[in-house]
Amino acid sequence: MTTTSSTADKADVLDCGHTATPDTVGTGSVIDPRTGATSCYPCSDERERVAMTRATTFVAYVSTDGDALTTWPGGHLATIDPADTRQTGRRTYTPSGGMWTRYVWHATDLDGGRWIGVNGGPGLVIGVHRLRVCTWQTEFGNGRGPRYCHRRATHAGQGGAFDLYCRTHARQVFDLYGWTTTALPPRALASLTA
């Protein structure tokens, strides 16, 4: 998406059916580079959230306080893990001998999908990719909420594209619920990130 700001009249209706979103410069709108369609920031944010649910890689921004992945206008896409919000980054060397500070971010989107990406710090653009971990939720039993199994997925479930299970939990969902799963082909397994 391409974002623009102009001093156009607020009464102008965009292709999404809304007027342009006011911002600090004038009025802001988003232009789809493929179709040329214009939309306000909230409609654009919603389209980005939907696109993220179908993607395996995605480009977003880390919020300036480091607690969320956002769209360019600042719409919430995913929540960054609390442990990553306190990181100070690691100094690392580039192949040419330069040095930069590297931040690794783990995040959970609104549908429970797990993401990981690396960038130069809060407030900057980041390319993230979906983690293909077992989606089985395990209970701590000590009052804390459930968490992901985090083992490498080897079986696809029936629920959707990202309904994946490790070998142990694939057997368990069949025993408990009668849900059948199919083993992922070897080529797919090689491309999965644990």
The residue count for the chain: 194
In the chain, which ranges are continuous DSSP H helix?
41-54, 82-85, 167-177, 186-191
pLDDT of res. 60 = 96
pLDDT of res. 194 = 41
The tens-digit pLDDT sequence of the chain (194 residues) is 555 544 444 457 777 777 776 765 446 777 778 888 888 888 888 888 888 888 889 999 999 999 999 998 888 999 998 888 888 889 988 889 999 899 999 898 887 778 889 999 999 999 998 877 777 777 666 666 666 676 777 888 876 666 788 888 888 888 888 888 888 876 554 454 44
Query: What DSSP designation does 174 have?
Result: H
In 9-80, which ranges are continuous DSSP H helix?
41-54
* Cross-strand partners of 39: 30
Phi, psi of 118 (to 5 degrees): -130, 135
pLDDT of res. 74 = 86
- In the chain, what are the domain boundaries? 1-39, 52-130, 137-191
CB 115 within 8 A of CB 107: yes
Indicate left, alpha or beta for 120 from its phi (over 0: left) and psi (-120 to 50: alpha).
alpha
* Cross-strand partners of 116: 106, 129
Indicate left, alpha or beta for 30 from its phi (over 0: left) and psi (-120 to 50: alpha).
beta
* Distance in angstroms (rounded) separating the CA atoms of residues 17 and 33: 18
Instruction: State pTM to two decimals.
Output: 0.64
